[in-house]
Structure 1
């Protein structure tokens, strides 16, 4: 290995599900002494944290799931321009490896790296291989996965799969050693409701109505923290009025890791980041997948956790105040079920995912044994 540390390029952009694992990997690689660069689209200007400190190159990137001939043509042109831009950048910075995190923002950089013969890998956050990653899967050397089983992977590509897990934020890992909180027969019940980065109207509509249906002996013990869309906050406050429930409502919680650690039960969407955080900490959840996600990947994520015994999947069309109230009444009156489910969730977690992903990336670099 040369005296100069190797440069590794990250191709990432778009939603938190694609950015969070890139952020976690970047922290690990920097700690190991590697140099990093970020190849992203125009949205990369908004990144903070570790990614915001990296040398950043912005390129054109067109969506690959657009509908209509005009949209497809525009996307193809932007993709072509992005690949040309990425090839120029790669020639200039000469990375030893490039890893992509899905989403259309990663496609030009990964395609250009493959054409240049640079060692490459992609990370798939969901239990369904995303469309961008499907375009790249045959070209890259390794496909890192968050889940043990991932659909839409061609059989011939199976030897490329490596189950690393989904990297989570350092703030989540810091709560890993906090045991599942004991539920006393008369003590408070901590309930956390997360709707993803944009909140979820269905949770704002159903959860308060379900809790209002519980017997007073349970309602008086519940302390709920619920994330709502800003436009839903007033309505949810009114819904909790008169129920006797201690409710903390906001459109954003800056202390989600601490709230997760305190929670006896979480009700949430089934995005990859949320699932990874729940299983890393070992907290039981009722997962309500977003039904309009491309390829219904949230349902696949939720099924994977439910199959491990760490959560309950409730599809949105059957997520009603009546069905949720019945489920909550059963769980809160049989806390041993929550304790058992929490342990199953923890057992399925991959707290060392960022380290495992870093090992995979470093292993792509010829003659590299670690920094």
Structure 2
């Protein structure tokens, strides 16, 4: 048999938390693995079931999610019971599927399958989206899991894990790759200025409060050029719509945009949070951005995610405490009057893009399968 035949038809189990930030990279890897003829399965929690229409089609196994990190101390015994239950579920799943490798994408539901695979002697690869290695992932790496990172200077990686670590980038959705083919819409003084604002479910209210007020402080000629697209939480929609109405600025407001990647590509400037997927999508699309990391996030991972993009000049990072009406109004005024600042930021952002992250991650996983298969054959001889 040739090498290609030896690596075809492997069972691959992906384990991911029930958010888009975890599931979209898993879906991108699933697409690559399926193209190569492998049998790909997904383990996630009940929240992940809401994303099934947006990700690659594959068998899905619902598992319980639990963690010992965070939460009320008196609930620790209950959390430990849930962890044991999740681990039993995961052990049963691994024994049933007999995967050649388990690839974990973070989130509490990914911990039990990865740990079960390690206990049963299976290959485990962890993909860390953030620039800070998550606490559960640190445990798995200490137990011997291999690690793939999005960012080059990921924090929290032990010396023993560094030898098993590769930087691959963060795989993104197909619609992001499609939108990226169009490139950044370079700005000139005759064009309307397209401003896109979106935030995660945690903390998007600060944008609803600050952005319309800041735009209201702009000179009339700049306000007239603005075309705003603003994704807000449903509870903030009425307030935000009224705020834009008062300042007389065109604004399209929704609680969810299914075509967000295309809107990111069309935008001349984006205002958003600093999730790993968002940062990588901005780079791929060459979209200049004002990024406000979520304050109080675990290990300040969002601030670390944005650091390289900010230092390279592809984005402007500002702490939420400094994200005031006065600051934002001044920054918008500066950027709208200095077209070259945005055009240069777009080019610098693109220089950090890794459009082949899914392929890099796939190759890493397949190399581990190949190594394991070779070791098994050697033992049999």
The equivalent residue for 1:284 is: 288
SS at match of 1:192: strand
Query: In the superposition, relative to structure 1, how do residues 18 and 352 fare at CA in structure 2: closer, same or farther (>3 Å)?
Result: same
Cα distance change of structure 1 residues 205 and 9 upon mapping to structure 2, 3 Å threshold? same
1:214-255 deviation per Cα after TM superposition (whole angstroms, max 9, x unaligned): 111111001010011111111111111242321111111111
- TM-score under structure 2 length normalisation: 0.92
Could you say which residue in structure 2 is the equivalent of 1:186? 190
Please give the alpha-carbon distance, in whole angstroms, between the structure 1 residues aligned to 2:29 and 2:339. Answer: 36
Find the counterpart in structure 2 of residue 363 from structure 1.
Answer: 367
**What is the TM-score normalised by the length of structure 1?**
0.94
Are the structure 2 counterparts of residues 3 and 32 from structure 1 closer, same or farther at C-alpha, using a change threshold of 3 Å? closer
Which structure is higher in helix share? 2
Match of 2:179 in 1: 175
Q: Residues 152-193 of structure 1, C-alpha deviation per residue, up to 9 Å, x if partnerless?
A: 112222112211111111001001121221222232111100
Q: Which residue of 2 aligns with 1:251?
A: 255
**Counterpart residue number, 1:271:** 275
1:52: Cα distance to partner? Answer: 7.0
> Is structure 2 residue 69 aligned with structure 1 residue 65?
yes
Change over 3 Å in CA distance of 1:262–1:42 after alignment to 2: closer
Of 167, 170, 179, which aligns to 1:166? 170
SS in structure 2 of the partner of residue 226 of structure 1: strand
**2:20·2:51 contact (CA, 8 Å) conserved in 1?**
no
Cα deviation, residue 294, structure 1: 1.2
* Aligned 1:195-274 pairs, distance under 5 A: 195-197=199-201, 200-274=204-278
Q: Which residue of 1 aligns with 2:37?
A: 33
2:347 aligns with 343
* Contact 1:8–1:95 under 8 Å retained in 2: yes
1:364 partner SS: helix
Residue segments in structure 1 that go unaligned for 5+ positions in a row = none
Query: Residue by residue, what CA displacement relative to the aligned partner does 1:27-55 show, whole Å, maximum 9, x if unpaired?
Result: 11111211011222333433314757322
Unaligned residue ranges in structure 2 (runs of 5+) = 375-381
CA-based RMSD of the aligned residues comes to 1.9
Partner residue, 1:323: 327
Q: 1:131 to 1:218 in 2, by over 3 A?
A: same
Task: Return the offset for 1:293.
Answer: 1.2
1:293 is aligned to 297
1:146 aligns with 2:156: no
Are 2:7 and 2:370, in contact at CA under 8 Å, matched by a contact in 1? Answer: no
User: Any residues of structure 2 matched to 1:131-142 within 5 Å, and which?
Assistant: 131-142=135-146
Separation of aligned partners in 2, 1:188 and 1:344:
23
| Number of positions where the alignment pairs a residue of Structure 1 with one of Structure 2 | 369
